[in-house]
Amino acid sequence: MELSQRSAALEAAARVRTILRQHAGAADEQARVCEPGMAELRRSGLMGLLVPQERGGLGGDLSDLVEIAQVLADGCTSTAMIWAMHCQQADVLIHFAAQPLRDRLLPRIARGELYLASVTTGPSTGGHLLSSASPLTDTEQGLWVDREAPIVTGGLVADGFLITMRSSPDAPENEVSLVYADRDQMDVVERGDWDTLGMRGTHSVGLKLSGAVPRSQVVGGDGAFRTVALESMAPVGHLAWAACWLGAARSALGELVGLLRSAERPGSIDIRSELVAERLARIRMDLELVGAYLCRVTAEVSQLRAAGASLAGTATQIHLNTLKVIAADLTFRSVDRMVQLAGLSLGYRRGSALPLERHFRDLRSAALNYANDRLLTATGALTLMDRSVNLA
Amino acid sequence: MTSADWPDDFEKAVRQHLPLLADGTALTSEASLLALGLDSLATVGLLVEVEETFAVQFPDEDLRAETFATPATLWAVVVRLRDGAAT
């Protein structure tokens, strides 16, 4: 993206942020997707941020993605997450869909007509990305998809789905294919509700999807989801999630500092005290570290992609996992510390002038969303494979 | 290459780390270890066991996905390291 286009995209993101700020509280309260925010996102062109310009998109890159995700999360973390995960799915299609499918879908994504939701979680496999229990079945109508999806972010408003399926009834659980399904190709039944501690505006309901798709809608080839996950879905997801969480924590700190510098500051907080200064410093340092590491890993992934190299190398995988885990841990810790600093009335109460308690609840999900535990296990195993300790 | 080309100790070590390989099913030389369930932690376990059993140490340049792709690729590295150590 040229400089002028980049600044236009940032201006568009700032306009969306204004709408998101107005509605973030209601989306959280009602546990529903912020419809005005989604409508503005669709109008803004940002749904096609990563879509190449020749397909009508903005032609943005991963550094644009992480920058804009932070701007949107400054308005509403849930909606930013919906957008970020849509961009993650778009990246998968851009890199792995066969040309006819790309020709059909990318212009629709660019026009804001196609919000893509991801169906990778399964009832028995949980968030284990690389396994799926439900098999694709060959039928006369095409490949039959019959899938219980316990958590689908923004699932009720999605126009299309990328769904992981076992590649055939005889295939082992770890032979997974990714298929694209238009909403009108699927019978969609809502299962269960979404009444959670935080990230309530993602309305990540359970869905039961069933229907037939043509074989041409398999993305990346039969049983090839592992490659799709390693080269696109996981790395772009980790970058985008980290950016959303960082954006939320930055927003929280910005508002807290704004209040501390104003006449509205509670008398109980003495900003000349060393204790307050030290607490602020620790909060700031956590965000500095996440920001710098996000920037570094974004550059590493971008450079490898530009060189046509794989992202599956041991060190790169460690860096991507580390980014996700430290972003989840440190942004939550920073908001926890902000709550401590702000105190019961300002930091913990719903309806406070600062939405710190909402940020706290939202960011508590970060360690659970593609669970840190699983990533730490993988990183530990990979560490034993990298005696030369190649740091990011 | 057939499974007869590697010793029982190797076969036993590999099989132990493949949760998706049924007992009694032959371990072919070109089988995908990944498809048979060799995840990252299992890879570490297999590496340590093979290193101890055959008294070799894998250098960093061999700690790649290609090494752990199939029984044949892994055995080839073990042979190279063992023979290299013996000379």
Do the Cβ atoms of A377 and B40 come within 8 Å?
yes
Top-level CATH class of A117-219? mainly beta
pLDDT of residue B3 exceeding 60, the answer is no
pLDDT of res. A172 = 82
Task: Note the CATH number of domain A3-114.
Answer: 1.10.540.10
pLDDT of res. B84 = 84
Q: How far is A131 from chain B (nearest CA, A)?
A: 10
pLDDT of res. A209 = 97
Nearest CA in chain B to A380: B41
Mean pLDDT by 10 residues, chain A (392 residues): 92 98 97 97 98 97 98 98 98 98 98 97 71 88 95 95 95 90 97 94 96 97 94 98 98 97 92 96 98 98 97 95 98 98 94 96 96 94 92 96
What gap in Å lies between CA A229 and CA A235, rounded to an integer? Answer: 8
Q: Where are the domains of chain B?
A: 3-22+30-86
- From chain B, pick out residues whose CB is under 8 angstroms from the CB of A173: 20
Are A154 and A115 in contact by the 8 Å Cβ rule? The answer is yes
Do the Cβ atoms of A381 and B65 come within 8 Å?
no
Chain B contact probe: residue of A373, A383, A385, A389 with most B CBs at under 10 A: A385
- Closest in B20, B41, B65 to A377, CB measured: B41
What gap in Å lies between CA A358 and CA A356, rounded to an integer? Answer: 5
Top-level CATH class of B3-22+30-86? mainly alpha
With 0-12 / 13-18 / 19 or more C-beta atoms within 10 angstroms meaning exposed / middle / buried, residue A308 is exposed
Nearest CA in chain B to A385: B63
From chain A residues 310-329, the ones with a CB under 8 A of any chain B CB are 312, 314
What gap in Å lies between CA A225 and CA A167, rounded to an integer? Answer: 9
What gap in Å lies between CA A325 and CA A69, rounded to an integer? Answer: 18
Are A318 and A383 in contact by the 8 Å Cβ rule? The answer is yes
Task: Identify each DSSP E strand in A69-136 by its residue range.
Answer: 116-119
Are B58 and B14 in contact by the 8 Å Cβ rule? The answer is no
What gap in Å lies between CA A348 and CA A356, rounded to an integer? Answer: 7
Helix (H) or strand (E) holding A210: strand A205-213
- From chain B, pick out residues whose CB is under 8 angstroms from the CB of A226: 34
Among A162-176, B2-16, B19-33, the least confident range: B2-16
Report the mean per-residue pLDDT for chain B.
Answer: 90
Do the Cβ atoms of A172 and B63 come within 8 Å?
no
- From chain A, pick out residues whose CB is under 8 angstroms from the CB of B20: 172-174
Backbone angles phi, psi at A178, to 5 degrees: -110, 130
Pick from A335, A319, A172: nearest CA to A254: A335
Beta bridge partners of A165: A177
Q: Where are the domains of chain A?
A: 3-114, 117-219, 225-383
What gap in Å lies between CA A390 and CA A167, rounded to an integer? Answer: 35
- From chain B, pick out residues whose CB is under 8 angstroms from the CB of A234: none
Domain A225-383 falls in which CATH fold?
Butyryl-CoA Dehydrogenase, subunit A; domain 3 (1.20.140)
What gap in Å lies between CA A211 and CA A156, rounded to an integer? Answer: 17
**Other CB atoms within 10 Å distance of the CB of residue B72:** 16
pLDDT of res. A173 = 80
Q: Are strands A160-166 and A116-119 parallel, antiparallel or unpaired?
A: parallel
pLDDT of residue B40 exceeding 90, the answer is no
- Closest in A172, A377, A388 to B35, CB measured: A172
